[in-house]
Chain A
Amino acid sequence: MRSGSSGMKKANIIASIVLIIFTGFYAYLTSQLPTRNLPNTLGSAFMPWLLAAFLFILAASLLIMNAIRGTQEKSNPKVSLKEGLGVIFLTIFVYLYINAIQLFGFITITPFFLAALMWISGARKWREILLVSIASTIGIYLFFQKIFKVILPQGTLF
């Protein structure tokens, strides 16, 4: 067995199992595709079947290679609890922002979102946060809406 990162070996095995499960799901969906073909050509499902087969072979190869030989990749795939929670929190935060923007409109909600995100990013000077968040929102609004006539999301309430 070759020397290599045991963390990456484990990560590769997990990734390959996830990919094999995904391939199974994709193959199931492919089997449900309607068969409506033109004469002398491939059906809608040909490419998906081909890709499912390729992905299965590649994922299985990754699994076998890592299980038997290990990996020479040195990078550490470990996601710390803090980082993991941060990713989940940010995803929820952005999801809420997208929903809030549809309710309150871009110009109303964005300074609050920007200020909160700046605080999360490590900014602590409130005057600076306030100034940058308001100025950026106005700048983006003028740039997109007024100069380039790009329609920004409007809220239903404002």
Chain B
Amino acid sequence: MGAPAVAALIEVLQFQNIFASFFGVLFGLFIGSTPGLTISLGMVLLLPITFKLEAVTSICLLLGLYASGMTGGSLSAILLNIPGTPSGSATAIDGYPMAQKGRAGEALGVAVSASFFGGIFGLTCLVLAAPLIARIALRFGAPELFSIVLLGLTLICSFGQTSVIKGLISGVVGLIIMTVGLDPMVGSPRFTFGQVELQAGISFLPAMIGLFAIPQILIGITGGTKVFPEYKKKVSGVLPKISSLFKLLKTMLLGSVIGTGVGAIPGAGGPIAVFLSYDYARRISKKSSNYGKGEPEGVAAPESSNNAVAGGALIPMLTLGIPGDPITAILLGALMIHGLIPGPLLFQQSQQFVYSVFWAYLIANLMNLVVTFSTIKLWVRVLKVPQKMLLPIIVILCTVGTFALRNTFFDTGIMFCFGLLGYFMLKYGFPVIPLLLAIILGPNLEEHLRMSLIISQGDYSIFVTHPISLAFIILSVFSFFGPLVWPLIKNRRRVAQKGS
């Protein structure tokens, strides 16, 4: 810290930069909480505006959107069980049951506080430990990236709540869906049936919207079931007590550490981090049996992780020029518009700007906390819209949202196909989250697997001779076989005890 840091702070505190951050936060909350709109879409929509703005003002705007978009995605996950972002999926597991039990205020309060905690933790790592974490992440080659994606995927069986085998089937079907499109290595088409639109593969965004939104709409409209809870009374207790936050400190810390670490690994991204955090928080928790039924820890873990990912993802983006996720890839583009090339040289040549990024991210997190808490009841009002009015509007938003992704109705068709698939999966007791995660992570899995084998000249031992890869593979084996084998062991023990 020195003169550049102070100069950067003074610059960030200029009115236009504070206003840009405020607008970014508001816009991010709206984008994040509206089904069908994503942070990436929001960023792309704001990019043309940033051409005319100063570099620091642009970064304040985009980081404001980044920080609050994550929180916004979780608000709709809690209130409507429709995650606005892929990372919001894990929050819905406990957040939505809390809302259904009339504890929406508490769930929202925990989500916003945990998001702030995660954001600040990620920022601290970004500022203090960036060179170290980036150096570790830089060592990750294809085998390590393959094994961490494999770990993320094997954990999905844990989400097959009532039937592990159904969770695994769901995951494998998701991986099968991701094989549609051009082969990532040799470029030959696979399962495209001559359709040009299928050559780019099936985008996970229409799939996500379809899987989460359409089944609820179908059940709501055809079955007459009330999908969204209606709150007759005011949502209260949004501001959490300090004592209850202290009880969640361990969970939030775990989520933040996982979020920052996973975020710093290029390509890993938010969905892996939130599900890893949720799963590990559940495993170490004394209240693990309450998870999935409306446990605040189940909201705090993914939420802190969610926002810590942003700080982590900025580390390799700023220091190495490697974006951690699609959002940081857009950020990287925004910087390049202003002639700033992220990488080690940025720290030497534009030191003040790097500090401006740090300060802007701090302001964005503080702004997110204040704005979200002060406007939270606006988002809660969404629940008060009658279901018979809300459901058709959601259908339109989903249609327009998926059309807007690539200006084609092909994606809208994909969304409705996934909606029908999700409906039948719901009816037949198959969890949709493993399917969704497999679609998101599947392409990376295949690419890193085949890349590793090119490096090793076809030698499979590459995955066990690399220590980090070996560690992830061992964890993957435990995650995969654990839920299958553990009940059998327990059953045998029970039989043996009865016998004796």
Contacts and interface: CB of A to CB of B under 8 A. Distances in A.
Contacts of A150: 45, 400, 404
B453 A98 contact: no
Interface in A44-90: 44, 46-48, 51-52, 54-55, 58-59, 61-62, 65, 71-73, 75, 77, 79-80, 82-83, 86-87, 89-90
A103 interface: no
Given A86-B221, A91-B420, A118-B389, A33 B395 contact: no
Interface in A12-63: 12, 15, 19, 26, 29, 33-34, 36-38, 40-44, 46-48, 51-52, 54-55, 58-59, 61-62
A40 B413 CA distance: 38
Given A51-B176, A83-B223, A153-B403, A132 B428 contact: no
A23 B172 CA distance: 11
A55 to B, nearest CB: 5
A38 B392 contact: no
A133 B45 CA distance: 26
Interface string A85-109: 0110111001101100010001000
A140 B396 contact: yes
B411 to A, nearest CB: 11
A120 interface: yes
Contacts, number: 159
B220 A48 contact: no
Instruction: Tell me the interface secondary structure of chain B in the complex.
Output: helix
Interface string A134-152: 0011001000100011111
B429 A86 contact: no
Nearest to A52: B176
Interface residues of A, number: 71
Given A26-B176, A91-B416, A121-B392, A44 B190 contact: yes
B245 interface: no
A90 B400 CA distance: 17
A114 interface: yes
B158 to A, nearest CB: 16
For chain B, which range describes its interface: under 10, 10 to 19, 20 to 34, or 35 or more residues?
Answer: 35 or more
A136 B409 contact: no
Given A73-B429, A151-B407, A47 B446 contact: yes
A38 B190 CA distance: 16
A11 interface: yes
Interface string B457-484: 1100000000000000000000000000
A50 to B, nearest CB: 9
A48 B176 contact: yes
A36 B182 CA distance: 12
A36 B443 CA distance: 19
A15 B430 contact: yes
Nearest to B445: A47
Contacts of A33: 188, 190
Contacts of B191: 29, 48
Nearest to A79: B427
Interface of A: 8, 11-12, 15, 19, 26, 29, 33-34, 36-38, 40-44, 46-48, 51-52, 54-55, 58-59, 61-62, 65, 71-73, 75, 77, 79-80, 82-83, 86-87, 89-91, 94-95, 97-98, 102, 106, 110, 113-114, 117-118, 120-123, 128, 132-133, 136-137, 140, 144, 148-153
17 contacts: A34-B188, A38-B454, A41-B454, A47-B449, A52-B176, A54-B172, A59-B169, A61-B165, A62-B169, A86-B221, A90-B221, A94-B395, A94-B416, A121-B220, A149-B48, A150-B404, A151-B407
